[in-house]
């Protein structure tokens, strides 16, 4: 189970209006048929509301309504059998603990209030459920580098509830590693292609997920380098440090004649210069993160979406193509003309923009088409390539691998360019703008600088393992809910006897 799949199962809630209607209907039913249940629902709701301040509970009205209903309905199931609502205490305590900032004991004390008000005799089942939940927390004390699974769960739940990246970033910083990488810039008159050795991730608003957005500067496009999630910056401070290292006033480059290479699974487009080579690696049917060390400006086009990872043999295939492109002879190409088009827009898959860098070498024309998205649907890419070829351009289609729309976002998973109905419409706008673009002679300059930042490192692999383990702990959590519910009924029956 991935982080995205886990979050979708755990964190999907009905909308606020729908919940308000359900809450009202159920309240009315309780008033007419079970006034005790109505009182319990009311006290539970008031307890949650007051806990927003008392326990610093990270709740919105929608979550207040949802937890009130869920707790009451579960409590009613035990009330019908045994006459006690305490069967829902374990769930109530668990949510109050993970969503507040006060810790286990304050959460347990406050959570017990509704039950003790209605049923003072439920103290035994409350103590049993509290012990079970404490046991569950202890079972989550599995070490993950310098932290535990419990700490990760508590921080990431608070991040999801508040959308404040600090909760996730604090624990990522505690487990981070340092990495020194390059910040690269190819300037073509007033427009710039920017890339870094860092990776734009891990997910929405956290650390490096802001990387692409922070490089969304006028006349600037971010492109994805050969990198991987182990190089995700872990905090906003690290991302800002990377951006501040950007410089675009470097050495002058003289353009040379472009060429293309291909293998069974990949195609390379090389736009060479006298002192540096711009090398694009495009996947024919699939491509994802890979590492290839090079002194040149290598780009992972990230343009053939699939779910999985490249095989080691595929990465070797890419490396062989890149090495060949680095040494292949090319003739000087004088008076290159260019134009730059960038359209700010957002769809379900496009984060901030689509763009095209148009380069006219005389007998050859290339369009570097960049979608600010997480990969590209292969069929959509083929359509983009075909439409640009009708204009006389060879399209080099790229994505930024932007993760600001992926990761822990409810009801939303990875959606590459072409995955939204509006993407084709947006592409048509880009194409029309390219038809009207005015070309001018281009002067090229290249700059790169080194910057040290804290990154996920091996924690990236640990998080993937955590996602797999977390699914098992979710199932265990439901087992504990049932066990607590059952013990509450048994203890109530024994109490009555």
Please provide the DSSP assignment of 200-227 as one string: --SSTTSGGGGHHHHT--TTEEE---S-
Extract the runs of DSSP E, i.e. beta strands, from 390-474.
Answer: 394-399, 440-441, 444-455
User: Distance between CA atoms of 195 and 224, rounded to whole angstroms?
Assistant: 6
Do 368 and 356 meet the contact criterion of CB atoms below 8 Å apart?
Answer: yes
User: Distance between CA atoms of 370 and 191, rounded to whole angstroms?
Assistant: 14
pLDDT reading at 428 higher than 60: yes
- CA-nearest of 99, 125, 98 to 112 is 125
Give residues with Cβ within 8 angstroms of 84, minimum separation 6.
78, 119, 122, 125, 488, 489, 492
How many angstroms separate the Cα of 71 from the Cα of each of 41, 47, 95, 99?
8, 12, 10, 15
- With bands split at pLDDT 50, 70 and 90, how would you rate the model's confidence at 142? confident
- CA-nearest of 244, 288, 462, 247 to 378 is 288
- CA-nearest of 115, 110, 50 to 87 is 115
How many angstroms separate the Cα of 416 from the Cα of each of 19, 302, 317?
32, 10, 24
Residue carrying the six token digits 């347990």? 108
User: Distance between CA atoms of 233 and 219, rounded to whole angstroms?
Assistant: 24
- With bands split at pLDDT 50, 70 and 90, how would you rate the model's confidence at 406? low
Q: What is the pLDDT of residue 105?
A: 94
Do 265 and 283 meet the contact criterion of CB atoms below 8 Å apart?
Answer: yes
What angle is formed at CA 26 by the lines to CA 24 and CA 29, rounded to 5 degrees?
A: 110
Strands 444-455 and 394-399: unpaired
How many angstroms separate the Cα of 153 from the Cα of each of 41, 71, 456?
28, 21, 17
Which tokens in the block code for residue 385?
Answer: 């390539």
- With bands split at pLDDT 50, 70 and 90, how would you rate the model's confidence at 467? low
Do 338 and 189 meet the contact criterion of CB atoms below 8 Å apart?
Answer: yes
Bridge partners, residue 279, by sequence: 270, 298
- With bands split at pLDDT 50, 70 and 90, how would you rate the model's confidence at 403? confident
3-state secondary structure of 351: coil
3-state secondary structure of 300: strand
pLDDT reading at 407 higher than 70: no
- What pTM did the predictor assign? 0.83
pLDDT reading at 307 higher than 90: no
Taken in order 86, 90, 95, 97, the sign of the CA dihedral is positive
Bridge partners, residue 451, by sequence: 181
Taken in order 315, 403, 353, 379, the sign of the CA dihedral is positive
Chain segment 433-458, per-residue pLDDT in tens: 999 999 999 999 999 999 999 999 98
Which tokens in the block code for residue 214?
Answer: 């922070």
Bridge partners, residue 354, by sequence: 343, 371
Bridge partners, residue 51, by sequence: none
pLDDT reading at 10 higher than 50: no
Residues making up the chain, counted from first to last: 497
Burial of 187 (0-12, 13-18, 19+ CB in 10 A): buried
Taken in order 429, 430, 435, 436, the sign of the CA dihedral is positive
Mean pLDDT of 95-109: 92
pLDDT reading at 412 higher than 50: no
Chain segment 257-296, per-residue pLDDT in tens: 999 999 999 999 999 999 999 999 999 999 999 999 999 9
Q: Which element (helix H / strand E) includes 32?
A: helix 16-33
- CA-nearest of 191, 480, 481, 149 to 355 is 191
pLDDT reading at 497 higher than 70: no
Cis peptide before 252 (omega within 30 of 0): no
- φ/ψ region of 83 (left if φ > 0, alpha if ψ in -120 to 50, else beta) reads left
């Amino acid at each position: 189970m991935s982080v995205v799949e886990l979050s979708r199962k755990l964190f999907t809630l009905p909308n606020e209006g729908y919940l308000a209607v359900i809450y009202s209907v159920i309240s009315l039913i309780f008033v007419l048929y079970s006034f005790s249940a109505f009182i319990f629902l009311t006290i539970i709701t008031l307890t949650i509301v007051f806990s927003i301040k008392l326990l610093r509970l990270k709740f919105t009205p929608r979550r207040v309504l949802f937890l009130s209903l869920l707790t009451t309905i579960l409590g009613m199931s035990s009330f019908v059998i045994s006459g006690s609502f305490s069967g829902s205490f374990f769930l109530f305590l668990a949510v109050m603990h993970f969503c507040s900032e006060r810790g286990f004991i304050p959460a347990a004390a406050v959570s017990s209030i509704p039950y003790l008000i209605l049923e003072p005799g439920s103290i035994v089942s409350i103590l049993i459920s509290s012990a079970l939940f404490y046991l569950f927390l202890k079972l989550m004390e599995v070490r993950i580098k310098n932290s535990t699974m419990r700490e990760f769960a508590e921080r990431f739940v608070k991040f999801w509830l508040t959308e404040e990246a600090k909760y996730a970033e604090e624990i990522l910083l505690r487990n981070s590693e340092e990495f020194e990488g390059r910040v690269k810039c190819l300037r073509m008159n007033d427009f710039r292609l920017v890339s870094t050795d860092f990776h734009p991730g891990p997910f929405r608003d956290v650390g490096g997920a802001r990387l692409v957005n922070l490089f969304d500067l006028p006349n600037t496009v971010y492109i994805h380098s050969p990198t991987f999630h182990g190089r995700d910056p872990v905090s906003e401070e690290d991302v800002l440090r990377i951006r501040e290292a950007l410089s675009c006033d470097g050495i002058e480059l003289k353009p040379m004649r472009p060429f293309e290479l291909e293998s069974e699974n990949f195609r390379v487009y090389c736009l060479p210069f006298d002192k540096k080579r711009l090398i694009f690696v495009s996947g024919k049917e699939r491509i994802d993160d890979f590492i290839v060390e090079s002194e040149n400006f290598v780009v992972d086009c990230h343009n053939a979406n699939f779910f999985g990872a490249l095989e080691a043999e595929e990465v070797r295939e890419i490396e062989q193509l890149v090495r060949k492109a680095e040494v292949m002879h090319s003739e000087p190409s004088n008076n290159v003309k260019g134009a730059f088009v960038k359209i700010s827009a957002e769809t379900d898959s496009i984060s901030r923009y689509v763009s095209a860098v148009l380069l006219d070498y005389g007998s050859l024309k290339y369009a570097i088409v960049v979608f600010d998205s997480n990969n590209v649907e292969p069929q959509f890419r083929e359509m983009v390539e075909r439409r640009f070829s009708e204009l006389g351009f060879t399209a080099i289609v790229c994505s930024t691998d932007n993760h600001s729309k992926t990761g822990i976002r409810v009801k939303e998973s990875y959606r590459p360019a072409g995955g939204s109905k509006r993407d084709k419409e947006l592409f048509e706008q880009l194409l029309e703008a390219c038809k009207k673009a005015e070309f001018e002679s281009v002067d090229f300059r290249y700059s790169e600088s080194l910057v040290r930042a804290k990154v996920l490192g091996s924690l990236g692999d640990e998080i993937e393992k955590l996602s797999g383990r977390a699914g098992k702990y979710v199932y265990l959590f439901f087992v504990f809910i049932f066990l607590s519910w059952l013990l509450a009924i048994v203890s109530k029956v024994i109490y009555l006897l």
